[in-house]
Structure 1
Amino acid sequence: MQEVLFTAAGHAVTLAEAIAVGAGLAAFMVFLVVVGLFRRSRAGALAAEEEALRAAALDRRLADLARIQFETAGRVQGLAEVLSQRQSELARAVAERLDATSHRLGESMSTAARATHESLTRIAERLVMVEAAERSLSDLSSQVISLRETLANKQARGAFGQARMEAIVADGLPRGSFAFQHTLSNGRRPDCAIFLPGDPRPLLVDSKFPLESVTAMREAPTAEARKAAAQRLRGDLLKHVNDVAERYLLPGETQDVALIFVPSESVYADIAEHFDAVVQQAYRLRVVLVSPSLLMLAVQVVQAIAKDARMRAEADRMRAEVTALVGDVARLRERVGELARHFSQVGDDVGRVLISADKIARRGLRLEQLDFDAPLETPPAGAPAGE
């Protein structure tokens, strides 16, 4: 009865209020009828009868109104039930939608959580890689600083150039074909001595180089300073070339050419480009400046010479072995011929033995049969007696 039927002027009208209003209206109409009847009672008999008829009609109308009111109340009740059912269905649909939305939201949050976890994992892996790269850069920077300190120190720089030269020679030549710090008859000890096959004279390599002059020429702030540094480098190079030619070129003891190892390709390129006169003077003194790539090429040439010498030695050994093998085959042919003659003689002897065995068998058969009347077999002509 408290269900809202409609709203009028902002006020919600319930079923009970609608019934009460209908009852009020009915009571008001009854009151009006009673007042009319009272007024018309004084009219006379005809008016009273007419009023009675009108009262009957009014009763009928009131009955119709009550019936309509009852039907309206039933319809309102049915509408309230329908509204209640629709409200339940709406609540169920809203609940289902909320459940589906919650489920999708949970899945979305789970997916987002997994994606976030994977992203954080990848970020952590990349951070580890960045830390490793940072450590590598730190190590590289420390190595570069160490290399700079090494190149700044003359003794350390000489050790660096010698170590690089020794690595190139040791990687390209077999053991026994080179020696480091080899002592000459004049007491000098070159950095490396390379021995060629079949020649006792070593090829000497010096790994010392005046790098200070090159650095000064490269870092010169003005043209005058660069010219002075170039003059200094030219003098240092000529002095070093003369020292190598004087100390390491010994007639009859060493090769006619000595090598000066320049441990940097860029430095060698600068010397070849700007100091051609020094390079030509070194050639005239039979001293050759080589970069790491040229030293590697020279080592490969020596390796090819050594390989060719070993191949010639092995070819001579193979020729001697083939000659000995031919002699062995000839002796084997003679011995096979002798063996064939022995086999022929043994075959003849075996044939005679078979003939004697056949005779013995036949005589044994006659003895078994006690047949002594058969004439004795005479040996064929030319056969030895007793066969």
Structure 2
Amino acid sequence: MDRILFTVADFAITLEIAAFAAAGLFAVLLVALLVVVVRQSRARSDEARQRAEEAEVLRLKSAETERYLADMMRIQSEMTGRMQTMSEIFGSRTSDLARLVNERLDSQGQRIGAAMQETNAKTNESLMKLQERLAVIDRAQSNIAQLSQNVVSLQSILANKQTRGAFGQGRMEAIIGDGLAPNAYAFQATLSNGNRPDALVYMPNGAPSLVIDAKFPLESWQRFTTAAEGEDPRFAASGFRNDMGVHIKAISEKYLIAGETADTAFLFVPSESIFADLHEHFEDVVQRALKARVVIVSPSILMLSIQVVQALLRDVRMREEAYRIQTEVRALLGDVGRLDERVRKLQTHFTHVSNDIGDILTSSSKVLRRGERIEAMEFDDARPDQRLAGE
């Protein structure tokens, strides 16, 4: 019994120890089996009890369900009777409703037909108007295409320095020509010093003429407005100021002649936007021009100035013609007096003629009465000379 079977960690396992260990293990397994059997029996008893409770619940529910089904059958029978009654009512109401719907549909069909005809007429009218508008749009598109061609040609014109100068000269000449009489201005007239300004406007009452110059330094302005990125705009602005100063000085020295031209000359700018930007960014240039007696004008300001000159010329012309108008009025008054005298004489002649006609009518009536008596053979005893004296 003390025979050693094996050794574990210096502990000798003998046959007796192994038998005790096997008996202990068997006892543990037996206890565990008993525990499992007890637990299973308890689970089965709980399950049986639960099934019994569920069977009772099902029995109660089945009884309740039978009562519910009985109630439902009763309610269903009542609903069947009610449904039959309602079906009869709905049948009669449906026939009435169908008749009313047919009548309404007929009337609505007639109204819809009339409305459709009216809508078709209005649609046709709208389509015709739309076609007219499309035709107008087509014409506008053609005008826009033509305008774009004109803009391209204008751009090509403005790209050239000479043609650009002619463009400004043309706008100025058009404004002056539209506002003044041909004898009130002159283009490219020669002054006493040999210089030839672009336009010369003759002022009334022998006043000195007004000089207008259209040579605006547009290239310098374009260099300032189109300065590339990275360039200094102050350099382009300085170049424009220098060009404007030279041009203003030339106008002041060449065209301002005492006794021959006005004390102030006009420098024409052919664009309203350039005129506005010039006053916004180059106020010093404008002030320099005013000190040199040169006024920078835009197309609208030049047009307003020409209208003022036109009004002055018209006023002077009216004052010059005032004496002639008075003479004509006096002659007209004399003619009216003679006409009144002759009308009065004619009225006197008409009065005499009216009296003579009255006498003639009196004699003709007497002759008519005498003839009637002769025709009726009505004679009295009086002698003819007495009857004539009586008549």
Partner AA of 2:318 in structure 1 = M
Match of 1:149 in 2: 156
- 1:1-387 correspondence to structure 2 within 5 Å: 124-199=131-206, 201-222=208-229, 224-317=231-324
Which digits, 9 at most, give the CA deviation of each residue in 1:213-243, with x for residues without a partner? 2222222244753212211111111111111
**Change over 3 Å in CA distance of 1:223–1:203 after alignment to 2:** farther
Q: Cα deviations across residues 112-152 of structure 1 (Å, max 9, x unaligned)?
A: 99898777756654543332222111011111112222222
- Following superposition, the deviation at residue 154 of structure 1 comes to 1.5
Change (3 A) 1:216 1:319: same
TM-score by length of 1: 0.50
Q: Is the contact made by 1:217 and 1:225 (CA closer than 8 Å) also made in structure 2? A: no
User: 2:249 aligns to what SS in structure 1?
Assistant: helix
Q: What letter is aligned with 1:299? A: I
1:281-312 residue CA offsets vs partner (Å, 9 max, x unmatched): 21222111111111112112212221222232
Report the Cα offset of residue 174 of structure 1.
Answer: 1.9
Partner residue of 1:367?
none
* Residue 126 to residue 308, structure 1, CA distance change in 2 (3 Å): closer
Superposed displacement of residue 259, structure 1: 0.9
Could you say if the C-alpha distance between residues 298 and 130 of structure 1 is closer, same or farther in structure 2, counting changes exceeding 3 Å?
Answer: closer
Moved over 4 A (4+): 106-127, 316-326
* One-letter identity of the residue aligned with 1:192: A
Consecutive unaligned residues of structure 2, counting only runs of 5 or more, are 1-112, 334-391
Deviation at 1:262, TM superposition (A): 0.5
Moved more, 173-182 or 123-132: 123-132
Structure-2 separation of matches of 1:112 and 1:324: 73
Distance (whole Å) between structure 2 residues aligned to residue 280 and residue 160 of structure 1? 27
Change (3 A) 1:321 1:117: closer
- Structure 1 residues 125 and 325: CA distance shift in structure 2, 3 A: closer
C-alpha distance 228-199 of structure 1, shift in aligned 2 (>3 A): same
CA distance in 2, matches of 1:160, 1:325: 52
TM-score, reference length from structure 2: 0.50
Across the aligned residues of Structure 1 and Structure 2, the Cα RMSD in angstroms comes to 3.8
Deviation for aligned residue 1:316 = 4.5
1:156-211, Cα deviation, whole Å (9 max, x unpaired):
11111111111111121122111111122233221111001122632111111111
Give the direction of change, closer, same or farther, for the CA distance of 1:325–1:226 in structure 2 (3 Å limit).
same
| Equivalent pairs, count | 230
Structure 1: distance between partners of 2:115 and 2:210: 79
For 2:302 and 2:121, the matched residues in 1 are separated by 60
SS at match of 1:197: coil
Q: Per the alignment, do residues 107 and 254 of structure 1 end up closer, same or farther by CA in structure 2, a change over 3 Å counting?
A: closer
